[in-house]
Amino acid sequence: MRAAGITSRAHPLWLAYILHRLSGLGLALFLPFHFWILSLALTNPARLNGFLAFTDIGAVKLAEFGLVFLLAVHMFGGLRLMAMEWLPWTPPQKTLAAGATALSFLIATLFLMQAV
Amino acid sequence: MKAHMLKVTIERGPDSRDVFDVPAHESQTVLDVVSWVQQNADPTLSYRFACRVGMCGSCAMMVNGVPRWTCRTHMSKVLKDNAVTIGPLRNLPVVKDLVVDMDPFFDKWVGAEGVHHGSLTRDDPIAAIDETSETRVEANAGIECINCSVCYAACDTVAGNADYLGPAALQRAWTLLNDAKDEGRVAILDAVSGSGGCHNCHSMGSCTTYCPNDLDPMTAIAGLKRETAKSFFRRGR
Ligand code: HEM
Ligand code: SF4
Ligand code: SF4
Ligand code: FES
């Protein structure tokens, strides 16, 4: 479909799918680098300290937040998939579960906002 | 009263599209519009339909980028700024204009063992079916498929993997697996667990979102994933 684009992708399950794939790819790209940095603790502690000093910079902090966020998104996405595929939910049950999850996220976010 | 006109763009090839002005009517369907163009503006336009009432599954097309059964899609639902773009169904080879070759779709139907595996003959008594049994309810949920290929066109996994059997064929495999009169369990599980099988599905749910009959191939495929996995751990039983 060239002309109108593939607008049939604009629905929540597809968005959940693409979020999961992009977060998975992001993790796959980042983790080798992450483990390499950790390995410096054994092979080259001075250099590791150099990197750790880096983490005080605001932008780097933001990037770290992004990575933790990626992992969280991917983990919840993966758990969501496994629950959806391995448990024989009926459609109304799926809707209820999605609603309950959304509500608990909303409440959790409210508490978080109050904490910071 | 002056006739109200619609701007209808029809995709007729990779780089060719024609724009037609089509008079609007009340309760007009997308198929009505395509038929009007063929009958009044361009007799060379090719398209396919048969029943016009949502039974035969032959009229599906992309409407503003969304696969739909055109005979039961009202223009009022799809018009944007008085205009609409209509193209051939996605994920299938185009024969001409709005006509696609459905062969790959039906070949995969057979490839998923979507055929009856009987064991009785005409001389045997007809086996009684309990309509309330769990497996019958599961099978009934998917049997009203009209083979329209809307789900097949909506699926990105089909787009990315030419061997993927696709939502409709896999859903039929699931209904047969749950059908007390079908004896094909081993053949079906074998067919749907191969490289083009159910485990390709990413549960993105476009099939279920767009099936015009409100069927749920995504959930049927999840059923196949569970059954094939169970059978794997039971070593093929
Ligand atoms: C932390 C390192 C991880 C990496 C690098 C990673 C990477 C990936 C990638 C690239 C995909 C392919 C996405 C796709 O096919 O659409 C994927 C899929 C998947 N991941 Fe992860 N993942 C990680 C952790 C996890 C965790 C913690 C879970 C579960 C709790 C998980 C569960 C899944 C599942 C169920 C799929 C299948 C998705 C699908 O069929 O679309 N992953 N992962
Ligand atoms: S749920 Fe599976 S079969 Fe349905 S559109 Fe997504 S990938 Fe395709
Ligand atoms: S499952 Fe629905 S969308 Fe797919 S072929 Fe059957 S009727 Fe059409
Ligand atoms: S013409 Fe038969 S389903 Fe549309």
pLDDT tens, position by position, B59-106: 999 999 999 999 999 999 999 999 999 999 999 999 999 999 999 999
The response to whether residue B201 sits with its C-beta less than 6 Å from ligand 3 reads: no
pLDDT category at B202 given cuts 50, 70, 90 is very high
B162 lies in the same domain as B116? yes
B183 lies in the same domain as B200? yes
Map residue A58 onto helix, strand or coil.
helix
Cα distance from A32 to chain B (closest Cα, Å)? 25
**B206: domain range?**
103-233
Kindly report the pTM of this predicted structure.
0.87
- Which of A45-49, A71-75, B42-46 reaches the highest mean pLDDT? B42-46
B194 lies in the same domain as B214? yes
| Boundary of a domain, candidates B100, B117, B152 | B100
Mean predicted lDDT score pLDDT of chain A: 85
| Boundary of a domain, candidates B65, B100, B135 | B100
- Judge whether A14 is closer than 8 Å to chain B, CB to CB: yes
Ligand number nearest CA of B29 is: 4
Over 60: is that where the pLDDT of A4 sits?
no
What's the DSSP call for residue B195? Answer: T
From chain B, the residues in CB contact with A13 under 8 A are: 203-206, 208-209, 218
| CB within 8 Å: A14 and B204 | yes
What's residue A1's pLDDT? Answer: 42
Distance from Cα B134 to the centre of ligand 4, integer Å: 31
Q: What mean pLDDT is predicted for residues A87-99? A: 86
- Judge whether B65 is closer than 8 Å to chain A, CB to CB: yes
What's residue A5's pLDDT? Answer: 64
B153 lies in the same domain as B109? yes
B38 lies in the same domain as B113? no
Ligand number nearest CA of B218 is: 2
What's residue A88's pLDDT? Answer: 80
pLDDT category at A67 given cuts 50, 70, 90 is confident
Contact between residue B169 and residue B108 where contact means Cβ atoms under 8 Å apart: yes
B75 lies in the same domain as B143? no
Map tokens 């009044």 to a residue.
B40
What's residue B80's pLDDT? Answer: 93
- Judge whether B140 is closer than 8 Å to chain A, CB to CB: no
Over 90: is that where the pLDDT of A9 sits?
no
A16: nearest CA partner in chain B: B204
Radius of gyration of chain B (CA): 20
B226: nearest CA partner in chain A: A86
Give the integer Cα–Cα distance in Å for A101 and A14: 18
Over 80: is that where the pLDDT of A2 sits?
no
From chain A, the residues in CB contact with B14 under 8 A are: 2
Q: What mean pLDDT is predicted for residues B4-12? A: 96
Contact between residue B83 and residue B24 where contact means Cβ atoms under 8 Å apart: no
From chain B, the residues in CB contact with A89 under 8 A are: 219
CATH code for the domain in which residue B92 is found: 3.10.20.30
| Boundary of a domain, candidates B64, B85, B100 | B100
What's residue B127's pLDDT? Answer: 82
Mean predicted lDDT score pLDDT of chain B: 95
Across the interface, of B64, B156, B223, the residue whose CB is closest to A7 is: B64
Q: What mean pLDDT is predicted for residues B18-35? A: 97
Over 50: is that where the pLDDT of B12 sits?
yes
What's residue B237's pLDDT? Answer: 56
B137 lies in the same domain as B55? no
B222 lies in the same domain as B150? yes
B138 lies in the same domain as B198? yes
- pLDDT tens-digit profile of B131-159? 999 999 999 999 999 999 999 999 999 99
Give the integer Cα–Cα distance in Å for B66 and B153: 9
Q: Looking at ligand 2, which residue's alpha carbon is closest to its atom 6?
A: B204
pLDDT category at A93 given cuts 50, 70, 90 is confident
What's the DSSP call for residue B29? Answer: B
Contact between residue A64 and residue A55 where contact means Cβ atoms under 8 Å apart: yes
Q: What mean pLDDT is predicted for residues B119-123? A: 89
B54 lies in the same domain as B120? no
Q: What mean pLDDT is predicted for residues A96-103? A: 89
| CB within 8 Å: B203 and A81 | yes
What's residue B139's pLDDT? Answer: 96
B78 lies in the same domain as B169? no
Q: Which residues lie closer than 8 Å to B173 by C-beta, 6 or more apart?
A: B112, B113, B114, B165, B188, B191, B192, B198, B224
B163 lies in the same domain as B201? yes
Ligand number nearest CA of B155 is: 2
B84: nearest CA partner in chain A: A4
Number of domains present in the structure of chain B: 2
Distance from Cα B132 to the centre of ligand 3, integer Å: 24
User: Which ligand 2 atom sits nearest the alpha carbon of residue B218?
Assistant: 1
- pLDDT tens-digit profile of B185-199? 999 999 999 999 999
What's residue B35's pLDDT? Answer: 98
Over 80: is that where the pLDDT of B54 sits?
yes
User: Which ligand 3 atom sits nearest the alpha carbon of residue B142?
Assistant: 1
